[in-house]
Amino acid sequence: MSGSREISPLTLNRLSVYLRCLRDLQSLGVDRISSQEMADRYHLSSAQIRKDLAYFGEFGVRGVGYDVSSLAERLHALLGLDVEQRLIIVGMGHLGRALASYPGFNDGSFRVVAGVDIDPKKVGRRMGHLPVYHRDELRELTERTGARIAVIAVPAAAAQETLDSLVAAGLRTILNFAPVHLRASDGVRLKNVDMRIHLEEIAFHLGVGRDDLERAEG
Amino acid sequence: MSGSREISPLTLNRLSVYLRCLRDLQSLGVDRISSQEMADRYHLSSAQIRKDLAYFGEFGVRGVGYDVSSLAERLHALLGLDVEQRLIIVGMGHLGRALASYPGFNDGSFRVVAGVDIDPKKVGRRMGHLPVYHRDELRELTERTGARIAVIAVPAAAAQETLDSLVAAGLRTILNFAPVHLRASDGVRLKNVDMRIHLEEIAFHLGVGRDDLERAEG
DNA sequence: TCATGTGAAGCAGTTCACAGCG
DNA sequence: CGCTGTGAACTGCTTCACATGA
């Protein structure tokens, strides 16, 4: 069993969380930790930590716990973070520029190597150290930089044609921040990031208990 | 049973999705639809649509389906979207400005009414029609505008003190876009939005199958 | 008849509790 | 002894399949 069973996105995201906790522990100088103490510190579940980790191999030592640094390195590699992935961001408005300088997008595992836009006032310039190219240069840019991930940060109306250009340029792993739900064709891994839904989720509770909603069940 | 059982975030998010589908159907001129056809069009599950909707009351007509407009209005009200919620965005960098002009944050149900920063070059000005105030004015600003939701869009290092100021100013519903996991005190509804985790999730699959990872189980 | 609304079944993800090992 | 790794129990979400009712 070479770890080939399908891994759930929930587990995957928890592994990312564990890695961040371990990095924090490293910065605090902690070099050994039990699942219980980790759960207490970061409000997680100790049983779940053990199950998640054990799924990929025996990382811990019975009676002792986990070695912080070596577990961090294992997770780092497991998540594919030991190979730097280069990103291209399409759309150099505020959102594109925010993502271009977002720490998590430029940290050794990921690096934004180019911006793309169609506005002649932006193309050919540098925006916060990031060179900006025209969308027509995407294929050449992808090949030259070795980027394998693209981020869509254009207005909703331009998102579909942007996706088409990206796929045509050979990019197959795409994160869409435009406020429209795009559908991926076969062989393309696309994730739609919807920032509005977070707002609806927290705002919902502001309205719970309003009298005029109680009739909804009638 | 006045809809007072706890509703899961998953169901809540699906209701948002249904509402968008219905809005799309309205724009297409469709005025009646079955759960089956809706599932086919938008790649959802018909049984789940019926279950989710039936949980809040009998919205449909047996043998016929759902009335698009009236269902849309019901969901709109159920999600609390019929009362406009005013937002304050703290941090007027690219991210803050991107969110200030994000369509989903300014659409009749939500409206960004003010920006907040501590940079004297930004305070007192308008950035894309949005007036910018100093953090010290938060309490007065909150009371005057009636805003009940705040969005944190400051650098990670400033996020905790920003959260403290917001709570001190009486804001209890907060969306955090800073790349750090904040913990809410009692009575504060806080949601951390982590953009990096989406990147890790799609990038993980680029690394699956790499030879040097196969040993992880050993 | 046709599509909803809904118990029952099925499945996935989480927690429990302890055997096993350092 | 202490803590991991793990089967078993449990919880909650999704899907099935059909009785119900327009």
Say whether B132 sits in a helix, a strand or coil: strand
Compute the radius of gyration of chain A from its Cα atoms.
21
B3/A214 touch (CB, cutoff 8 Å), yes or no: yes
pLDDT score of B26 more than 60: yes
Find chain B residues with C-beta within 8 A of A202's C-beta. Answer: 149, 173-175, 189, 191
Nucleotide nearest to A51 (CA to C1'): D5
* B162-178: pLDDT as tens digits: 999 999 999 999 999 99
* Residue B207: predicted pLDDT: 86
Q: In which band, very low, low, confident or very high, does the pLDDT at B92 lie, cut at 50, 70 and 90?
A: very high
Cβ contacts (< 8 Å) between A104 and chain B: which residues? 179, 194-196, 199
Q: Look at residue B210 and tell me whether its pLDDT is greater than 90.
A: no
Which residues are within 8 A (CB) of B208 and not within 5 positions of it... i.e. 6 or more apart? A80
Q: What is the mean pLDDT of chain B?
A: 93
Reported as type and span, the H/E element at residue A49 is helix A46-54
d(CA B75, CA B101): 25
Which candidate from A3, A189, A214 shows the least CB-CB separation from B216?
A3
pLDDT surpasses 90 at B4? no
* Inter-chain CB proximity A175 and B199 less than 8 Å: yes
CB contact under 8 A, B97 and A101: no
Q: What pLDDT does A207 receive?
A: 86
User: Would you state the pLDDT for residue B177?
Assistant: 98
Higher per-residue confidence, B81 vs A6 = B81
Q: Which residue is nearest to nucleotide C2 (CA to C1')?
A: B63
Residues of B in contact with A97 (CB under 8 A): 94, 98
Minimum CA–CA partner of A57 in chain B = B217
Judged by CB atoms closer than 8 Å, whether chains meet at A80 and B206 is answered as yes
Nearest residue to C21 via alpha carbon and C1': A62
User: Tell me, what's the pLDDT at B217?
Assistant: 32
Q: How far apart, in whole angstroms, are the C-alpha atoms of residue A87 and residue A113?
A: 6
Give the per-residue pLDDT at A5: 65
Query: In this predicted structure, what is the pLDDT of residue B2?
Result: 37
Averaged over successive runs of 10 residues, the pLDDT of chain A (218 residues) comes to: 68 97 98 98 98 95 97 97 97 98 97 98 96 98 98 98 98 98 94 96 86 43
